[in-house]
DNA sequence: ACCGGCATGTAACGGGTTACATGATTTT
DNA sequence: AAAATCATGTAACCCGTTACATGCCGGT
């Protein structure tokens, strides 16, 4: 699923600028399951516009560059619906932190601790962020997705809190052995 | 983290061929947190060999192409350790299925059902697969990672089992209304 | 005075995915 | 007889990430 399709999807939530779409990916509802930067969003919106799948309206602003607000056209909606008839690809997860934990025996104990703490903090933040959202007025299927994210973050945080000893077991043994 | 580094990491588990490393990514221990295909693994191993980070030994086989078994060199181990001092990048998840659920209102009810069933089945398989592994003799930090995967799969399956109504609520209402 | 947020975009680079190419052996 | 497994590799293409380029406004 390319960024163009994702942009069409984002625009079903209402008209938005490229800047605002980016925020949906980094903080908003899309954050759990996809990510995209300016470098892919702006060109994608440009192409969609050329193809007539989205419309664009410029809003003048003082000082800043004109804000370009995009909106889904009927053609764009049809195109999106077409994409949604595909079989979804398998989920893809890339976690450098988990790779590092897997190879923890080759790491410096102090650095490992730092990475672990950072990773846990990150998931705690994510969880807090989702928990602070208001569910009122959000349609059920979007709540389903939100809940999925919440369940995942919760599982990650709980697991890490309860099982960190597995990661630091050897180090602790080594330390205990040395200090004895 | 590029495929080269991942290959070095894979080879810490013992000598292996490109074909075997690929399997680690699709079924084995790396499956939860990274993926890679032949098109990236074979060139990566070639480059690592040129750089002297891995060694290669050809084993003749009848009928099949010679099996090339790679092994980590001292230089390669050092290089890997260097990579492991980095800050890990944030986890990246890409889930087309969740995008589709998010946009479920624009989907055909039957297709949505199919996608949901397939997605749940996939996570059940993953869970079963991890649960069938034997933990004996596996070092604690690898069990940590394995457990993380297990916790994630379990959370996904449970969540979907308990909350599918959110996804199909509207459809059911529509159907009920129509059939009445 | 400086940093973060608002706001858009381009260009190059890198890297991975996909498709192609080959072929024997084992399982169904 | 067909399909899956074992086994390696190349080449092109796509596409996304990163860095660069610009500039004002508001808060600390």
Instruction: Tell me the average confidence (pLDDT) per consecutive run of 10 residues in chain B, 180 residues long.
Output: 95 95 88 92 95 91 81 96 94 94 95 95 91 89 94 97 90 46
> Cα dist. B101→A60, A94, A139, A152 in Å?
36, 21, 11, 16
Q: What percent of chain A shows pLDDT beyond 70? A: 92
Token digits for A59?
């809003």
| Strands A92-94 and A54-59, bridge-based pairing | unpaired
Chain B hits for A147, CB-CB cut-off 8 Å, are 159, 163, 166
CA distance to partner chain B, nearest, from residue A175 (Å) = 16
Chain B hits for A120, CB-CB cut-off 8 Å, are none
Nucleotide nearest to A70 (CA to C1'): C8
Residue A9 approaches strand C within 7 Å at CB:
no
Q: How distant is C1' of C5 from CA of A130, in Å?
A: 22
What tens digit of pLDDT does each residue of A88-135 get?
Answer: 999 999 999 999 999 999 999 999 999 999 999 999 999 998 898 888
Q: In B19-178, which ranges are E strands?
A: 54-59, 67-72, 92-94
Token digits for A88?
């979804």
CB contact under 8 A, A103 and B96: no
Residue B35 approaches strand C within 7 Å at CB:
yes
Chain B hits for A122, CB-CB cut-off 8 Å, are 90
Stretch A12-39: mean pLDDT: 92
- DSSP3 helix / strand / coil % (chain A, rounded to 5): 65, 10, 30
pTM here is 0.90
| Strands B16-17 and B67-72, bridge-based pairing | antiparallel
Tell me the three state secondary structure of residue A67. Answer: strand
Which residues 6+ apart lie within 8 Å of B117 measured at CB? Answer: none
């Amino acid at each position: 699923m390319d960024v163009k399709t994702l942009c069409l999807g984002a625009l079903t939530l209402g008209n938005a600028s490229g800047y605002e779409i980016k925020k949906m990916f980094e903080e908003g509802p899309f954050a759990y399951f996809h990510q995209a930067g300016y470098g892919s969003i702006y060109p994608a919106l440009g192409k969609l516009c050329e193809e007539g799948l989205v419309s664009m309206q410029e809003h003048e602003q003082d000082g800043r560059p004109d804000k370009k607000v995009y909106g889904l056209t009927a053609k764009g909606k049809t195109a999106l619906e077409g994409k949604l008839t595909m079989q979804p690809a398998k989920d893809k997860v890339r976690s450098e932190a988990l790779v590092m934990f897997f190879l923890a025996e080759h790491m410096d104990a102090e650095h490992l601790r730092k990475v672990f703490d950072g990773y846990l903090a990150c998931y705690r933040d994510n969880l807090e962020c989702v928990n602070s959202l208001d569910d009122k007025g959000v349609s059920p299927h979007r709540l389903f997705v939100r809940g999925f994210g919440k369940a995942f973050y919760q599982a990650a945080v709980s697991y890490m809190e309860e099982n960190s000893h597995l990661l630091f077991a050897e180090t602790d043994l080594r330390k205990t052995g040395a200090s004895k």
